[in-house]
Amino acid sequence: MNNRFAVIGGGSWATALVKIVCNNVEQMNWWMRNTNAVEFIKKYHHNPNYLSSVDLDLEKVNVSSKLKQVVANADVLIMAIPAAFLKDSLSELTPSDLKSKIIFSAIKGIVPEDNLIVGEFFNQKYAIPFSQIGVITGPCHAEEVALEKLSYLTIASQNTEATNLIASKLACRYIKTITSDDIYGTEYSAVLKNIIAIASGICHGLGYGDNFQSVLVSNAIQEIKRFVDAVHSIDRDIKSSAYLGDLLVTAYSQFSRNRTFGSMLGKGYSVKAAQMEMNMIAEGYYAAKCVKEINKNYNVEMPITDAVYRILYEKMSPAIEIKLLTDKLC
């Protein structure tokens, strides 16, 4: 397998992934849509909008706003575009542009309208075989990667060769990698933990304490297990870091955008006001609606997800919804 890498996206995770991959490659490509940011990076060697403290080695990184060119010059594409914008961002690409490419998604969301996790999106829209698709998940926040604090990444794919390749390129002094073949479970779990983090933030904003948060999160991992088992039933340990660990860091961390978003809702912000104030994407907002639609096919009991959906999309009172939720947890 050839080793020409490209990161697709311009946000925090994309910047963190570029920083990590640079440790293990001689040359790589990086695409972002924002041409002003591209020129800034070329001149000053850091991203002006995200993780601006990270110095980028431009002797190794070719940064460009020309998507087709970047894709053509890579064998392995790491996707780090928010799921809500993925379809539009890649609109100029055709299946022939992505033929034979290995695609790994570091996206923690579902493509809206299509209600597809990212792997399914590339399989259905670009005819990429699942053997050429993989997932990069946590538990890991980009902000701690920027600080070079020890972090773990889970690399999942049905293609063992591709899994091992990506794991080797992401492993470094401050990153340890774990491999898995559970592309459905790891990706859906990464989506669901963002919804749970919104719930955790709402509870924090409403004044609920750590005692209740522990009950919320312990119920949440059971909710995630019920859903991923219904979607793709295989032998998986839901207590491992790819599932429980990722949930914990997203529900509790100061760096969690979804928790921050939820906390603002709990403190009285409207959904729109919270989104405008953050000026960042909380993937769980879009995921709550998508999962609600997907679950119509499975009818899994998901009281926490349902409560978040009603708060976000039916404008129900956070205080009332969480009070009702407390009677459903154990």
The structure's pTM equals 0.94
CATH architecture of the domain formed by 191-326 = Orthogonal Bundle (1.10)
- CATH 3.40.50.720 range(s) for the chain read 5-181
Domain boundaries 5-181, CATH class: alpha beta
Q: In one letter, which amino acid is 175?
A: I
List, edge to edge, every strand of the sheet that includes 133-137: 61-64, 28-31, 5-8, 76-79, 102-105, 133-137, 151-157, 175-180
- Residue 46, φ and ψ in degrees, nearest 5: -155, 155
Q: Where in the chain is the domain with CATH 1.10.1040.10?
A: 191-326
- Distance of alpha carbon 102 from alpha carbon 313, whole angstroms: 36
CA 226-230-235 angle, 5° bins: 80
Closest CA to 184 of 243, 244, 127: 243
For each of the chain's 330 residues, which pLDDT tens digit applies? Answer: 568 999 999 999 999 999 999 999 999 999 999 999 999 999 999 999 999 999 999 999 999 999 999 999 999 999 999 999 999 999 999 999 999 999 999 999 999 989 999 999 999 999 999 999 999 999 999 999 999 999 999 999 999 999 999 999 999 999 999 999 999 999 999 999 999 999 999 999 999 999 999 999 999 999 999 999 999 999 999 999 999 999 999 999 989 999 999 999 999 999 999 999 987 789 999 999 999 999 999 999 999 999 999 999 999 999 999 999 999 999
